[in-house]
Amino acid sequence: MSESGLLELSPILQGLRALNGWRQDVISGLHGMAAMMADLGLLPSGAMLQMETLAYETEQDSLRIAFVGEFSRGKTELINALFFSDMGTRLLPSGSGQTTMCPVEIRGAPQGRPGLQLLPIASRSLDVSIEKLKRAGSAWTRLPLPLEEKSELNQTLLHLTETVCVTVEDARRIGLCPPLNRTPKDRERTVCPSCGLGKVLIPRWRHALLYLAHPMLDAGLTVLDTPGLNAIGAEPELTFGMLADADAIIFVLGADTGVTQSDLTIWEQYLIRNAHQKQIVLLNKIDTLWDELRDWSGVVAEIEQQVDKTAERLHVLREQVIPVSGQKGLVARIRRDRKLLERSGMAALERSIAEVLLPARQAAIQAKCRALVERVVMDQKRLLREQMNRITVQMESMRSLKDRTAEKVPELVEQHRRLLGSFEADRQAFEGKKAVFRQAVEELLLAPLAPASFDFVISNAKAEMLSAWTTAGIVERFRRFFAEAIAHFDTALQGAQQVSELVAGEYQALQKHYRLPALRAVPYAIMPRRAELIDMAENYERF
């Protein structure tokens, strides 16, 4: 059987393709429903835009899996075994003495052109997020990937493991080192054996984007490989952005170490905060427990005991903990050894991803689509009921007129015509005030939330924290930063209330005179963001 044939048997790839097929059906359904409603004149422009936006988001959707764990837990080897064993070799560097030193996002290659993009560690000194830097091509070092030349490919990917020696001052300047030791005696303790006195070893790169033309990636899979606790703690965007946005977290532990204190710190401080995120715990390197001099049943019993202890320590269901050997799984895949593949636990992990993570992603898309469609249907029902009620009232009015004298009809018709004319004039006057409403929105709601306002707050906070000489000063400035940021949201909320009162006041006269339906209050979209900011501030206080 060919390597591509083995990949075809992967339940992950089969599940991704099934998810893609279902997703295309959903997209077609959304477009069809929007077109039908538009043809019938039933769908307001706002609802039409929402449906088209949802269709686009569904089309661009991908399954984002983040591998998290301490250094040397075998995360990269697991990624090699799970997704890239069909290449017949170890794609990502994970040999002895090799470890990825920066977060690596692995995506499908645009237009089928593979490549590696590396963001220098010095970019940490810029007041710009990684997401914004992704749109600034000049900030990245771009390297081609010669997939056909294995030695050149391996050499290119070794850039992910690169480090550089810098002075303690330079490391601290970009936030990668604690405050400088003052005395010469203390400075002697800040020594890296490979760098020398007063220097430290840091990653050469801050972030990496790896684009590959691969069936799983092309089918909508995105993989995030994280280097360890130090990188997670030093890069807030990785913690609160990329990991939080991942559809699933695969937390990698070592069977030879169990749950260490640093493992527990990652789990408690960064991973269990999102209750809706799917999580799988891997007990990797179970091959270190294999012993040819022991009965296999005894080895299995020891592994099961480790699984029980891990589940108990992390307070998770036992079914969430899967014992695996990424290294043996990769060997089994390359050598097409089914027995070794099953023994390595990789087959069980693949089934878990296919049977748990993929259905969960489908359910999330389904829930989002169902919520929008149900809201649109409810709005259409309400509009139709209002139209039917108006028709019923008009019919009753006509019957009443018919029962009266015919002389009254022309007078009532004229009265109705004048009412319609008056309503049209008032409606146009109300429409004419949209500019006033928009100006109020810009000044009262959007101005406090403008990026420039937050950039000013962040720049001031960053400058003051960098100039602070004490931990207490930095902590106090963090508190003030959160307070200032929350104050911007509070100002925006007050502005939103004023805008609501302004619109409601103008609409109330029309409502009373023409018996129009009451305005339906819409919850402020900034409330969840404000709550998240408060939660971040509280988490920081606890941390």
Give the confidence band of 484 by pLDDT, cuts at 50, 70, 90.
confident
Is 513 inside any structural domain? yes
Same domain, 362 and 465: no
Burial 139-152 (b: 16+ CB within 10 A, else e): bbeeeebeeeeeee
Same domain, 460 and 390: no
Percent of the chain with pLDDT over 70: 86
Same domain, 423 and 517: yes
Cα separation values, 353 from 21, 129, 225, 414, Å:
18, 31, 16, 71
Beta carbons within 8 Å of 482's beta carbon, 6+ residues apart = 533, 534, 536, 537, 540
| DSSP assigned state of 203 | E
Is 263 inside any structural domain? no
What per-residue confidence (pLDDT) applies to 4?
A: 46
Beta bridge partners of residue 248, listed in sequence order? 65, 278
Choosing from 345, 373, 403, the residue where a domain stops is 403
Looking at 5-9, 20-24, 34-38, 503-507, which range is the least confident one?
A: 5-9
Residue 146 vs residue 239, higher pLDDT: 146
Assess whether pLDDT exceeds 90 at residue 429: no
Give the confidence band of 7 by pLDDT, cuts at 50, 70, 90.
very low
Looking at 38-42, 138-142, 458-462, which range is the least confident one?
A: 38-42
Residue found by looking up tokens 């532990």 in the block: 253
Listed as own residue / partner, the contacts of 193-197 with beta carbons closer than 8 Å and 24 or more positions apart are 194/165, 195/165, 196/165
Q: Give tens-digit pLDDT for 141-169.
A: 999 998 888 888 889 999 998 989 988 88
Average pLDDT over residues 180-205: 64
Choosing from 376, 403, 430, the residue where a domain stops is 403
What per-residue confidence (pLDDT) applies to 1?
A: 42
- Indicate the number of domains in the chain: 2
| Closest of 435, 539, 534 to residue 488, by C-alpha | 534
Same domain, 397 and 411: no
What is the length of the chain? 543
Same domain, 428 and 378: no
Give the confidence band of 327 by pLDDT, cuts at 50, 70, 90.
very high
Same domain, 366 and 492: no
Its domain, for residue 443, covers 407-542
Q: Give tens-digit pLDDT for 65-107.
A: 999 988 888 899 999 999 988 888 888 888 766 688 888 999 9
What per-residue confidence (pLDDT) applies to 189?
A: 47
Same domain, 396 and 518: no
> Residue 8 burial by CB count (10 A; 0-12/13-18/19+): exposed, middle or buried?
middle
CB 320 within 8 A of CB 281: yes
Is 387 inside any structural domain? yes
Same domain, 375 and 413: no
Is 491 inside any structural domain? yes
Q: Give tens-digit pLDDT for 396-420.
A: 887 776 766 666 667 767 777 877 7
Is 117 inside any structural domain? no
Average pLDDT over residues 377-404: 80
Assess whether pLDDT exceeds 80 at residue 210: yes
Assess whether pLDDT exceeds 70 at residue 118: yes
| Closest of 64, 76, 65, 63 to residue 228, by C-alpha | 76
| Closest of 248, 279, 275, 221 to residue 61, by C-alpha | 221
Same domain, 416 and 488: yes
Same domain, 432 and 508: yes
Same domain, 446 and 513: yes
Q: What angle do CA 538, 541, 543 make, to 5 degrees?
A: 110
Q: Give tens-digit pLDDT for 278-302.
A: 899 999 999 988 988 788 888 899 9
